[in-house]
């Protein structure tokens, strides 16, 4: 039997990896991917807690399903934005899109 | 801890998830990143199966691998000129790495009390005192004292569907989520389409 | 699922829905079609009105409605082991709001069709016509949500929707720099208060475990616990007091109470229907409604009727008194017709807040209702007046006869349709002219605001044009069509508006016996006075707050009577004092040909008078309520009238049971009535003596002669609050960066208060400088350099690179996380 904390550690590691990617990758698409990793980490956490602490209720699964929805929406809009930026500025490097300052 | 097929499966899926995730963020080729992303998603899906959430596992495959990862691949193809970057990491990557490591450490410290199963009981109460015994783990493991709980059936798609449309269930969030998705889709189309002018 | 949506229990859910749907429809689909857009807007409000009226009828038809209030809620989300429910609640207070709000909103919508439609096609009012109705619909939806909400969080959502809408609508004419600034000002000021209010809501949730009104406010046990400073709270204050203080601060921002009142007069930058919306039906009423709603919590642990004041009550009493009196005094010195009304709004809201401070719950609610009616009426009347003046200005420029005959087929020329003093075409010509003459650099941000004129109504010379027009808000500037000094005699030009406004003004000043305002204001004063004279019941406590409220409100009422009478007389009485007033009219610009083609008399009438009818029709409806809405709240034992009321105060008996402990009816006394009448008579009589005599011009106001120029200027400058806030909050950060160069900033400002501030800071700066020069020369230079350096360094934080921002955020979050982790370890 795998204890709960195994899942939590995996989830934490995945979240940290995602955070690193979101902070360090230059390509906006890679950043979107990293964010997806973080959302996945959160989902593992949710489902694990649900399974171990409150398996008689359905809430945990529903919550995870809503995370899917948010992730899908985020990916669609995020990638659309990236393509729009690419079209207008010929780049997907986030550092090059730095007009919002001072 | 005894090694069961569950432990092995868990290790395999965890390695898939984490290894895939790591390769996503460090791979130089964006195309490879996307493929590793799929691998990581698949690993997560496996973890869901281990957690007895087959519906979520299926949705994970359908939505993440089937839709999001494919979407990412399309986005990469549409911006193909940007694939051959010299530098894939920006200048702040050491700081980012430090943040990630510290974050991980903090999270691990936070969950560390759960390593002791008694502490779990202290924290979350008697309700989950025998949570191991309650789980339908291994149908053949009856002799080891771990019994599948017949009341604890796998949550069916039917149950989830019902919960989503019950007034005191989740009908409002469900409808809101539909609106959110529609808005996101329309928004994505509007943002991404070429200007008419 | 068995839901009968027409059941009265579910009907409240639907009330806010039509305007919200209308907002989406207009924004998403029908924006191009003006007629369709306003039809959707008005239609949605009619629907809401019908439903709300149904709910109101059911509520009034239920016996003993207070304890039997009904509502419905659904689970919103799970919070830990409990759940958070969202729902609607109809209790007596909601019911009367559901009577007032939809009527006022509906009238505003109808009026808007006429008001916005009367602008020429190239005016921004008309260009963004559909958008206006969309925002207005959202505003209405937000207000109705707030009214039917059964918990603080849903109420706060409506509250914030309105905050957003007020920003959008005040800044509706965003080409004007002043409108931009006014919008930001209103938004930021209310935001300060909203944040604190949100903190209060959070604290309440933490303490009570629920935000439902019924669970908290109708539950003696919870109130008892929250109000007991031994059990809850900090620093000797009970939790109820702390929460109450925070909620009251929210109201101070939303209802423009001192010291956060400064945004409201500038909110007049929006189109006039917006002013009516903000000042009557929605925004500011919402603030007072919130404190009335939360009243049981505010008084928990005390009893104002025995002069045991709790901290929130004291705050309300003091702030309300200051605001009521201060704003009433300021109202005297305003020449902008809308600004007079703005100050009267602030002042009247002060009345309500002060009334609540002394526990006059029913009186505050009553005044809220009557005030909404007559203030909406007054604002919409002022809009009609301004429109008439703008028409008049155009007519005066082109000759009166030409006004009707003139029609330009090439309708693009703004002059052909124009009736604002400077149309967009005019403005563009001016800008081009300015560029040619070298006053303006091409590409420089152009100050729309050309409809502003000098303090005495003169138009700036072209040479001075750039410097004389305020680039943004300026406290003492008065737009020409708004300037009551230039009006006069309008009663002959727009009689319907004049009489409607007379009804509204009479109600505002509390004309005895026959106006709504009299009865509601009288009830507040009676509440304050009765408890002073009855000091026996205070059991040794000093009723100082009652006294403060009483005296400030009576003086404020006197001033109110004065400035309102002044405004009405200057606008409508005497003879026209300018060419604009001479030619003022609300008729449409119609070309003769089209008129001749019109077949039926009805069609001819509509062509000529459609806007006039759409604007003035709602005025008549509201005038009815401004007069008669007061009769529901007459004291049961009022002499003679008790024959009609049957010794019942209907309003009191209906609304009072909203509270768990129904407030006692105060015994009838003749003195408060006499005091009210006296305050009205002195104020109005004096105003009539001063302004009742027709004059040719008001270049120098008679009051100015009486009080002297400095006082008058101080009134026009609004006691310098705007300048002070600009100097402290806005410039504060700027100042910090350059301690030694602020003198330059100072010199550009003539305002006395800033100068005082500046002198103080100057001395501090000089002292620091001398200290540095004498003692440590190097450090002396080092400090400013360090500040400059740090400024430049901090500027690098704003690199525009999102990942860097994210990194900072992450580091901060980690620091917080580490703090908690280390504490546990």
Query: Is residue B126 helix, strand or coil?
Result: helix
Contact A95 C801 (CB under 8 A): yes
* CA within 13 Å, CB half, C142: 26
Containing structural domain, residue C748: 719-824
Task: Flag whether C252 is in a domain.
Answer: no
> Tokens at residue B23, please?
């390769």
What is the CATH class of B1-83? mainly alpha
In a domain, C595, yes or no: no
Cβ separation C3–B106 shorter than 8 A: no
In a domain, residue C786? The reply is yes
Q: What is the pLDDT, as a whole number, of residue C1?
A: 38
| pLDDT at residue C5 is higher than 70 | no
Residue-wise pLDDT tens digits, B102-160: 999 998 888 887 777 676 666 665 555 344 444 444 444 444 433 344 444 456 777 78
Chain B closest-CA separation from residue A10 CA (Å):
7
- Cβ burial of C352 (10 Å; 0-12, 13-18, 19+) is buried
Cβ distance A102 to C798 less than 8 Å, yes or no, reads: yes
Taking the Cβ of residue A2 and every Cβ of chain C, the question of whether any pair is shorter than 8 Å is answered with no
Dist CA B187 CA C740 (whole Å): 50
**What is the pLDDT at residue C450?**
37
Contacts (Cβ under 8 Å, ≥6 apart) of C101: C52, C143, C144, C147, C281, C282, C285, C372
Helix or strand run (H / E) with residue C482: none
- 3 state DSSP class of C79: strand
Alpha-carbon distance A47 to nearest alpha carbon in chain C (angstroms): 16
Contact: B106, C75; criterion CB under 8 Å: no
Query: Does residue C577 belong to any structural domain of this protein?
Result: no
Q: Which tokens go with C417?
A: 């349709």
Given a cut of 60, is residue C193 above it in pLDDT? yes
Question: Interior CA angle at C4 toward C3 and C8, to 5°?
Answer: 120
- Residue C309: name the closest of C357, C351, C353 by CA: C357
Whole-number percent of chain C with pLDDT over 70: 75
Q: Which residue has the tokens 């964006």?
A: B30
pLDDT surpassing 80 at residue C727: no
DSSP letters spanning C256-305: T-TTS-THHHHGGGS-HHHHHIIIIISHHHHHHHHHHHTHHHHTTT-BGG
Q: Do A22 and C806 touch (CB under 8 A)?
A: yes
Kindly report the CA angle at B162 between B156 and B164, in degrees rounded to 5? 110
Decide if C566 is inside a domain.
Answer: no
What's domain A4-96's architecture?
Orthogonal Bundle (1.10)
Examine the pLDDT at C669 and tell me if it is beyond 90.
no
Task: Work out the pLDDT band at B37, boundaries 50, 70, 90.
Answer: very high
| Nearest to C649, CA basis, from C638, C660, C639 | C638
- Least-confidence region, from C238-247, C412-421, C610-619, C662-671: C412-421
A58 vs C500: which has the higher pLDDT? C500
Q: Over range B84-106, report the average pLDDT.
A: 84
Question: Maximum Cα–Cα distance for chain B, whole Å?
Answer: 74
Give the single-character DSSP code of C479: E
Task: Specify which of B123-127, C102-106, C666-670 reaches the highest per-range mean pLDDT.
Answer: C102-106
The more confidently predicted of residues C555 and C390 is C555
CB–CB contact B81 A90 (8 Å): yes
The whole-number pLDDT of residue C394 equals 72
Q: How far does CA C319 lie from the centroid of its chain?
A: 17
- The encoded tokens of residue C665 equal 């009816």
Going by C-alpha positions, the residue among C540, A21, C763 that lies closest to residue B40 is A21
Q: Is the pLDDT of residue C470 over 90?
A: no
Rounded average pLDDT over A79-86: 87
**Confidence band for C4, pLDDT divided at 50, 70 and 90:** low
Indicate if the pLDDT at residue C697 is higher than 70: no
DSSP secondary structure of chain A: ---HHHHHHHHHHHHHHHHHHHHHB-BHHHHHHHHHHHHHHHHHHHHHHHHHH-TTSSHHHHHHHHHHHHHHHHHHHHHHHHHHHHHHHS--BGGG------
Whether residue A24 lies within 8 A of chain C, CB to CB, comes out as yes
> How many angstroms separate the CA atoms of C542 and C548, rounded?
11
The answer for residues whose C-beta is within 8 angstroms of residue B125's C-beta and 6 or more apart is: none
Query: What is the nearest CA distance from C73 to chain B, expressed in angstroms?
Result: 10
Query: Taking CA atoms, what residue in A is nearest to B93?
Result: A24
Nearest to C74 among B102, B109, B172 (CB): B172
Q: Do B40 and A52 touch (CB under 8 A)?
A: no
Tell me the shortest Cα–Cα distance from A66 to chain B, in angstroms.
Answer: 7
pLDDT reported for residue C780: 58
pLDDT (mean) for C108-126: 81
**Which of A12, A45, A98 to probe the B interface (max B CBs under 10 A)?**
A12
Q: Is A99 on the interface with C (CB under 8 A)?
A: yes
Nearest to C450 by CA among C475, C430, C474: C430
Give per-residue pLDDT as tens, C329-368. Answer: 888 878 888 888 888 888 888 888 988 888 888 888 888 8
Per-residue pLDDT averaged across A5-18, rounded? 92
Q: Is the pLDDT at C280 greater than 90, yes or no?
A: no
> Taking the domains of chain A in order of start, what are their residue ranges?
4-96
* Closest-CA residue to C16 (of C87, C67, C77, C108): C87
| Mean pLDDT for the stretch of residues B11-34 | 90
Query: Which of B20-24, C563-567, C588-592 bottoms out in mean pLDDT, i.e. has the lowest?
Result: C588-592
**pLDDT value for B125:** 59
Helix (H, G, I), strand (E, B) or coil at C534: coil
Q: In chain B, which ranges are E strands?
A: none
Could you tell me the pLDDT band of residue C476, with boundaries at 50, 70 and 90? low
Q: pLDDT band at C170, cuts 50/70/90?
A: confident
From the list C117, C110, C96, the residue with the least C-alpha distance to C621 is C110
Q: Does C557 have pLDDT greater than 80?
A: yes
Mutate to test the interface with C, among B97, B102, B164, B175 (most CBs of C within 10 A): B102
**Mean pLDDT, range C516-538, rounded to an integer:** 74
Flag if C807 and B173 touch (Cβ within 8 Å).
no
Q: Residue C736 — pLDDT band, cuts 50, 70, 90?
A: very low
Task: Identify all chain B residues contacting C3, using CB atoms and an 8 Å cutoff.
Answer: 167
pLDDT of residue C9: 67
Task: Please check whether residue B64 is in contact with residue B40, taking contact to mean a CB–CB distance below 8 angstroms.
Answer: no
Q: Which of B93-97, C3-7, C46-50, C534-538 is the least confident region? A: C3-7
Q: Is residue C35 pLDDT above 90, yes or no? A: no
Q: Do the chains contact at C807 and A23, CB–CB below 8 Å? A: yes
Reported as a single tens digit per residue, the pLDDT across C768-816 is 777 666 665 665 566 777 888 887 777 766 677 788 888 888 888 999 8
Which band of pLDDT confidence, cut at 50, 70 and 90, is reported for residue C447? very low
Choose from C187-196, C631-640, C770-779 the range with maximum mean pLDDT: C187-196
Averaged over A64-72, what is the pLDDT? Answer: 88
| Residues on chain B touching A51 (C-beta within 8 angstroms) | 51-53, 135
Residue C80 has pLDDT above 60, yes or no: yes
Give the residue-averaged pLDDT of B49-54.
Answer: 85
Quote the CA–CA distance of C342 and C347 in Å, as a whole number: 9
- From A101's Cα to the closest Cα of chain C, the distance in A is 5
> What confidence tier does B1 reach under pLDDT thresholds 50, 70, 90?
low
Q: Which residues sit opposite C89 in a β-bridge?
A: C71
Predicted confidence (pLDDT) at residue C456 exceeds the cutoff of 70: no
Residue C807 confidence (pLDDT): 87
What's the structural domain count of chain C? Answer: 1
Contact C803/A59, CB-based, under 8 Å? no
Read off the tokens for C385: 């007046």
Say whether A93 sits in a helix, a strand or coil.
strand
Q: How many CB contacts within 8 angstroms connect chain A with chain B? A: 254
Query: Does B78 contact A26 at a Cβ distance shorter than 8 Å?
Result: no
Say yes or no to pLDDT of C540 above 70. Answer: no
Output the average pLDDT for chain C.
75
């Amino acid at each position: 039997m795998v204890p709960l904390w195994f899942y939590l550690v995996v989830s934490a590691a995945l979240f940290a990896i995602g955070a690193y990617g979101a902070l360090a990758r230059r390509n906006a698409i890679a950043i979107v991917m990293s964010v997806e990793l973080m959302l996945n980490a959160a989902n593992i956490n949710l489902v694990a807690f649900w399974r171990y602490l409150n398996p008689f209720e359905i809430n945990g699964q529903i919550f995870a399903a809503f995370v899917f929805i948010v992730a899908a929406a985020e990916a669609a809009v995020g990638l659309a934005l990236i393509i729009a930026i690419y079209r207008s500025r010929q780049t997907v490097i986030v550092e090059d899109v730095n007009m919002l300052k001072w | 801890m005894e090694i069961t097929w569950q432990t092995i499966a868990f290790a395999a899926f965890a390695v898939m998830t984490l290894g895939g995730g790591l390769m996503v963020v460090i791979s130089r080729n964006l195309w490879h990143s996307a493929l590793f992303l799929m691998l990581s998603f698949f690993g997560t899906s496996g973890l869901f199966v281990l957690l007895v959430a087959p519906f979520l596992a299926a949705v994970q495959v359908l939505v993440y691998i089937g839709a999001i990862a494919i979407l990412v691949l399309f986005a990469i193809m549409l911006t193909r000129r940007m694939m051959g970057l010299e530098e894939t990491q920006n200048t702040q990557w050491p700081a980012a790495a430090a943040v990630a490591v510290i974050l991980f450490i903090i999270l691990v410290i936070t969950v560390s009390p759960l390593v002791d199963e008694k502490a779990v009981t202290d924290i979350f109460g008697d309700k989950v005192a025998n949570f191991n015994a309650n789980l339908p783990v291994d149908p053949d493991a009856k002799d080891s004292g771990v019994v599948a709980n017949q009341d604890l059936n796998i949550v069916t798609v039917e149950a989830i569907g019902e919960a989503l449309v019950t007034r005191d269930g989740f009908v409002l969030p469900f409808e809101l989520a539909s609106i959110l998705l529609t808005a996101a889709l329309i928004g994505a189309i509007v943002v991404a389409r070429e200007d008419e002018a | 699922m068995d839901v009968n949506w027409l059941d009265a229990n579910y009907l409240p859910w639907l009330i806010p829905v039509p305007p919200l749907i209308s907002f989406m429809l207009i924004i998403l689909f029908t924006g191009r079609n003006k007629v369709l857009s306003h039809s959707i807007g008005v239609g949605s409000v009619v629907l809401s009105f019908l439903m709300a009226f149904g709910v109101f009828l059911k509520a009034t038809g239920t016996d003993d409605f207070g304890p039997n209030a009904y509502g419905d809620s659904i689970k919103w989300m799970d919070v830990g082991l409990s759940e958070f429910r969202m729902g609607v609640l109809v209790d007596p207070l909601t019911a009367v709001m559901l009577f007032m709000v939809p009527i006022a909103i509906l009238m505003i919508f109808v009026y808007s069709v006429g008001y916005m439609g009367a602008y020429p096609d190239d005016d921004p009012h008309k260009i963004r016509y559909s958008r206006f109705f969309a925002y207005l619909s959202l505003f209405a939806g937000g207000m109705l949500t707030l009214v039917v909400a059964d918990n603080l969080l849903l109420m706060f959502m409506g509250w914030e929707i309105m905050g957003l809408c007020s920003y959008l609508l005040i800044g509706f004419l965003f080409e004007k720099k002043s409108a931009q600034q006014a919008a930001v000002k209103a938004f930021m000021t209310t935001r300060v208060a909203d944040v604190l209010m949100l903190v209060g809501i959070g604290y309440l949730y933490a303490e009570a475990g629920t935000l439902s009104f019924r669970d908290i406010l109708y539950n003696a046990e919870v109130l008892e616990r929250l109000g007991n400073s031994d059990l809850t709270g900090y620093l000797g204050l009970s939790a109820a007091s702390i929460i109450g203080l925070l909620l009251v601060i929210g109201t101070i921002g939303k209802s423009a109470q001192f010291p956060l009142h400064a945004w409201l007069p500038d909110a007049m930058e929006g189109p006039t229907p917006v002013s009516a919306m903000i000042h009557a039906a929605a925004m500011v009423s919402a603030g007072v409604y919130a404190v009335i709603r939360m009243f049981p919590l505010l008084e928990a642990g005390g009893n104002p009727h025995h002069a045991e004041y709790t901290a929130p009550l004291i705050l309300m009493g003091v702030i309300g008194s200051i605001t009521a009196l201060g704003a009433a005094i300021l109202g005297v010195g305003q020449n902008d017709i809308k600004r007079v009304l703005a100050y009267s709004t602030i002042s009247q809201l002060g009345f309500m807040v002060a009334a609540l401070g002394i526990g006059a719950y029913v009186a505050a609610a009553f005044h809220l209702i009557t005030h909404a009616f007559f203030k909406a009426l007054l604002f919409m009347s002022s809009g009609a007046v301004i429109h008439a003046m703008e028409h008049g200005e155009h007519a005066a420029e082109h000759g009166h006869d030409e006004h009707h005959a003139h029609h330009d087929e090439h309708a693009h020329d703004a002059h052909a349709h124009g009736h604002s003093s400077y149309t967009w075409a005019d403005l563009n010509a001016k800008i081009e002219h300015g560029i040619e003459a070298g006053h303006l650099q091409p590409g420089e941000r152009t100050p729309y605001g050309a409809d502003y004129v000098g303090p005495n109504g003169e138009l700036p010379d072209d040479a001075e044009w750039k410097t004389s027009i305020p680039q943004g808000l300026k406290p003492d500037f008065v737009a020409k069509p708004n300037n009551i000094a230039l009006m006069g005699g309008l009663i002959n030009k727009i009689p319907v508006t004049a009489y409607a406004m007379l009804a509204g003004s009479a109600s505002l000043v509390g004309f005895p016996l026959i106006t709504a305002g009299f009865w509601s204001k009288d009830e507040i004063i009676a509440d304050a006075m009765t408890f002073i004279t009855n000091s026996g019941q205070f059991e040794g406590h000093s009723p100082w707050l009652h006294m403060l409220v009483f005296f400030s409100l009576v003086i404020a009422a006197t001033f109110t009577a004065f400035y309102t009478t002044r405004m009405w007389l200057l606008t409508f009485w005497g003879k026209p004092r300018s060419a604009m007033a001479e030619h003022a009219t609300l008729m449409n610009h119609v070309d003769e040909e089209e008129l001749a083609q019109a077949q039926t008399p009805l069609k001819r009438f509509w062509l000529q008078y459609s806007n006039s009818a759409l604007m003035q029709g709602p005025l008549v409806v509201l005038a009815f309520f401004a007069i008669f809405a007061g009769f529901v709240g007459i004291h049961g034992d009022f002499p003679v009238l008790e024959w009609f009321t049957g010794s019942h105060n209907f309003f009191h008996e209906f609304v009072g049971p909203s509270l768990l402990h129904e407030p006692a009816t105060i015994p009838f006394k003749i003195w408060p009535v006499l005091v009210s009448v006296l305050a009205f008579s002195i104020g109005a009589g004096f105003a009539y003596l001063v302004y009742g005599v027709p004059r040719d011009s008001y270049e120098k106001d008679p009051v100015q002669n009486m009080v002297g120029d400095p006082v008058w200027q101080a009134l026009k400058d609004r006691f310098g609050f705007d300048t002070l806030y600009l100097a402290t909050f806005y410039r504060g950060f700027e100042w910090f960066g350059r301690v030694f160069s602020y003198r330059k900033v100072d010199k550009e400002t003539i305002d006395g208060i800033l100068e005082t501030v500046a002198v103080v800071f100057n001395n501090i700066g000089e002292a620091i400088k001398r200290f540095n020069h004498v003692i440590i020369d190097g450090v002396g230079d080092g400090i400013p350099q360090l500040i400059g350096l740090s400024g430049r360094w901090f500027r690098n934080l704003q690199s525009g690179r999102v990942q860097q921002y994210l990194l900072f955020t992450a580091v901060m979050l980690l620091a917080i996380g580490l703090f908690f982790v280390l504490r546990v370890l």
